[in-house]
Structure 1
Amino acid sequence: MHLSEQEPSSWPQWLSVYHKRALLGGGLLLATALLWPTPQLTTGQRIALPLDLSSTSTHFSVPDTLEALADKPAFSTTITTGDTLSKLFERAGVDQQTMYKVLEADLNILALDTLQPGNEISFYLDENHQLMRLEIDFSLARQVVFTQVDGSYDVEEIQKKGQWQPKAVSGDIYGSFYTSASKAGLTAGQIQRIETILKEKINFARDLQAGASFSVALSEQYIEGVASGDSQLLAIHINNRGKQIDAYQFSDGQYYDANGESLVRAFLRTPLAKTYRLTSNYNGKRRHPVTGRIAPHNGTDFSTPIGTQVIAPGDGVVTLVTDHRYAGKYIVIDHGNQYVTRYLHLSKTMVRKGQRVTRGQPIALTGNTGRTTGPHLHYEFHINGRPVNAMTAKIPMASRLNKAELKRFKSMVSQRNIQMGV
């Protein structure tokens, strides 16, 4: 379903009339309106594409002030199956050159490669039909905004905190765990997280017996009273015909069993089997070697011969395998517990989207694809949606809680068990 669609090719007629009226009424009013600040960040682009409007009945009215033009997107729609980025830019009247500038700005976030049906996209244009701001709403809690600055675009990822409310889900297992958990109200993503967290403790396809039961403690996010779709998995309890299997998330973000033993396998510090020279470190303000532009460098670059094997630094699920104009061939892996890794400029990918991978498993070969100055691997590590320095960040290491931590953990376990009703 489309939220709104206003074809920018219809604007020039009424805008020219409005400008004449504004000039007759005094240039000061026009200048003031044009310089009035917009309340939101935006970025835009435009394509000069002839449109056939003969079959449409869209009506445009002249705004009372140019302030209305700045506040209202020229083109806004809900993405549907079959939409592509280039098609969306065409429909907004934004040219490909501008689209490439937005793609370049997106290199650090790679949000545009994750567009899905249901996401909302809005283009804000100036009086010359130049893209000033591009807003993408991925959910109630997450928005990405591209804003034009001196002919290029800056990007900002906005995460709304909202309010988190506790929730408990329980049920009996008959047939597959996935089917039973889904009937009880868990989402596909939540079920996958549970299976990933407990995969060292139980084989869900083989070990579960009929009549086993489960309980899950969650925290769900609400934005202005509406569920955003984001949730945190706080605790899991499975009673498999007398055998207890548990997982509890502690304050460090990691999961432990009821005795305080870590359920997370240690990460490898680098995704390469051998040591290679670091050519560019993580840097919040780096001058790009190709464009010369100052921008964050959210990863670590390793100089490697083309075809060097890349391995998964930890267990996880592949969430994206794609090709990008600037990032080249790249892979994204979700390791659970808010940990995500990215691998750019690959020559070959060896995994597919949705595939489970284990620590040390080959996933790709390094290359020189996308925009680079030479063969290398660009590696990123993200925690809670934010990039960190993979070489220095505190990443999960299999361990047991110390005495003081264990006391706090046991208290938390009691509270979670009450929430789950076990």
Structure 2
Amino acid sequence: MKLYKVAVSSIKQLPRQHRIALASTSLLVMAALMWQPSQQTYQTPKFQRAERVEIELPHEKVEVLSEQNSEPLGADLDPEDPEFSAPKDALEQKLEQVTDVAHKHKITSGETLGSIFSQYALPISDMYRLIKVNKSIQNLRVGQTIEWSVNDDGQVKEFNIQRSKKITDSYTLVNKGYQFKQVEENGVIKPVFLTGRITGSFYNSALAAGLTPNQIQTLVQVLQWRFDFGREVRKGDRFAVSVEREFIDGKAVTKGELKALYYLSDNREIFVMRHSDDQFYDTDGNSLNRALRRIPLAKRYRISSSFNPTRKHPVTRRISPHNGTDFATPIGTPVLAAGDGVVVKASKHRLAGNYVVIKHGREYMTRYLHLHKLLVKVGDRVTMGQRIALSGNTGRSTGPHLHFELIKKNRPVNAMKVPLPQADPVPSNARSKYKQLANSERQKLLAVMPG
């Protein structure tokens, strides 16, 4: 009561305007406290709280939205999977044992060391190690030739840059990294003739004649469209090969570079010679190659995922390569053979869906994944541009598209950028001179051919 009297006394001492404002505020507060909303004519529906249920899905069924490509980052397709490889005959099994398979590339305008490593899916880490040894490796000129080999782990084992006809920069992988040396030819280049007769396989007969495994592999690839050294050789066939070797003080210091081959099988005669462009042609200057096309489609479609050997998983940050090129094609788009060849696989795979594998000679192979419908079967011979399938969205695919791979010498390469074989003959302005040289070389080989 005493507190109330004190409060009233204090209010009376306030100015008149303040007492009026205070009274108005008190009335508003009391009105708000006394007001209650009227009852509504509808009832809010009652919901029963659902119990939490956990459903365990198999790992392979889980799709991540960030993995918008044909090879989910958590489950890459293995390029070495026998499912996607062509069966190997006896000759290919022999050549597969060659540890120093030579890969070649001629520098074109705008190319860098990095772009070349990317085209051929070579380890970028190896490139930086090479640069660390000698920075001049980055100084590439149009027309220069690069040659390399890789070991079983995919590392660059040897790397050579032919700076000129006389000078070659050579890098070799050793225990502590790469070792650099510049090799200069100081000797005399002379032709050497190697001859032989088929007594068993071509591979063993060629070795006996003095050819190296790499030289044999080169001949097999050069003639892959004209003559099959695995299936067409006959006992008693004869051959002669010319090799250009470097001699110093009368001693050969190199294995030499193949120049020409003359092969006789019954009444069949085969002659090939290397031209100045480093390609082989027949006596009349015709190419021995069969052309390949970069895009196995009738028209261009958007590339939804590019070839990327160093692609990283967005979460784990581990390297998860994309070994092909994805084209955003609607379901049912005709898929065309990239070149002449034989269908070696036409089947279905849990990840790849419906797929086709075509072998083009002995050097190239192409793969077509996630197809809707197959139009060919194993054993079919196809020509470049022939319809082989309809694109689709089968397997582990996040949308309709075609996944296309190009395999060269058993390694995936970027089909959109690597040089592809062409079937062009020797240019007309150089053909007459080439034919004269070819006829002269043929006569030399015929003269040394075993009787």
- TM bin, normalised by shorter chain, reads 0.3 to 0.5
- Structure (1/2) with the larger strand percentage: 1
TM-score, structure 2 length as denominator?
0.43
TM-score, structure 1 length as denominator?
0.46
Bigger radius of gyration among the two? 2
